DNA sequence: ATAGCTGCAAATGCTTTGCAAGGCC
DNA sequence: GGCCTTGCAAAGCATTTGCAGCTAT
């Protein structure tokens, strides 16, 4: 994925998000090159490195707003922190438990068959597969 | 699974754990009836309800010691808290994101094929499948 | 006796919240 | 102008840690 600034502005507006400086700059980091996995802490550090002035609270707010707007997907791999993925399509992950590196697995490279019915009164929302890996 | 007090003592000793009052009582709650999913907070509350005097820090320590000893398995379903499962065999989970209820799926009722190779220099440790469900 | 446990309180790390000031439409 | 956003600091949780006192072996 490749997006220029205009595409990114349009993306935000199309999801009903106002164009504030912080949102445009964070969206630039996230969506310019596509396919990224970040935590709030990582994104805040990266923003600072790039001369973007934004508070940590705003990074959290923005990640959640983008998630609600369907631009990001939350991933639960690690009970210590929340990861966000710019790839919102159905797919799965490798998670390196030593260096906390997350890698996508294209959906069509994993097949999952869940035979049992979900618990009474519930319906399946989605299936997450995390393949935990460690250095060899 | 069904264990009486003697079985439980033997279980702890066989894993090299000293028989302290707190460990025996917590192990009683966890392993007497088998197949349970708990968080530290839940286990501490249950202990209190059962008149077991134990600090929250000891509950955390004990859960980790039991995990290291292979009596429990950590589960990452929810980035807000850590779950522990008394079922240490390979299997997967339904997770109800509304009421935070975890249910086992026997391994033989799920088939997963991961085709791509893990990232360079890593080997697969294990595969976790979480089927997220919501009330219908 | 001594290595290992426990309990408490304080500390930590991630995340959320309250609120005043500022910015977008 | 009015509503949404931002930043800061404080608060909130889950979890870990330091350490003095206790306990299993």
Confirm or reject contact between B96 and chain A (CB < 8 A): yes
Residue A93: strand pairing partners: A104, A130
Confirm or reject contact between A99 and chain B (CB < 8 A): no
**What sign for the dihedral angle of Cα A41, A46, A47, A48?**
positive
The nucleotide minimizing the C1' distance to residue A23's CA is D5
**SS3 for A70?**
coil
What's the pLDDT tens digit per position in A24-74? 999 999 999 888 999 999 999 999 999 999 999 999 999 999 999 999 999
Would you call B124 and A109 a contact, using CB atoms and an 8 Å cutoff? no
Write b or e for each residue in B47-66: b if 16 or more Cβ atoms lie within 10 A of its Cβ, otherwise e: beeeebebeeebbeebbebb
Model's pTM, two decimal places?
0.91
Would you call A110 and B114 a contact, using CB atoms and an 8 Å cutoff? yes
Would you call A114 and B119 a contact, using CB atoms and an 8 Å cutoff? no
* C-beta within 7 A of nucleic chain C, residues 54-83 of A: 56-57, 60-61, 64, 80-82
What's the pLDDT tens digit per position in B62-118? 999 999 999 999 999 988 899 999 999 999 999 999 999 999 998 888 999 988 999
């Amino acid at each position: 994925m490749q997006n220029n600034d205009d595409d990114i502005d349009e993306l935000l507006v199309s999801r009903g998000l106002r164009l504030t400086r912080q949102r445009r700059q964070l969206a630039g980091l996230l969506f310019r090159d596509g396919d990224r996995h970040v935590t709030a802490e990582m994104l805040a550090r990266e923003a600072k490195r790039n001369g973007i002035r934004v508070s940590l609270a705003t990074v959290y707010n923005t990640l959640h707003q983008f998630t609600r707007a369907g631009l990001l997907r939350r991933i639960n791999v690690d009970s210590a922190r929340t990861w966000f993925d710019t790839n919102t399509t159905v797919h799965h992950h490798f998670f390196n438990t030593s260096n906390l590196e997350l890698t996508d697995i294209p959906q069509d490279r994993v097949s999952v068959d869940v035979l049992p019915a979900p618990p009474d009164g519930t319906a399946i929302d989605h299936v997450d597969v995390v393949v935990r890996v460690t250095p060899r």
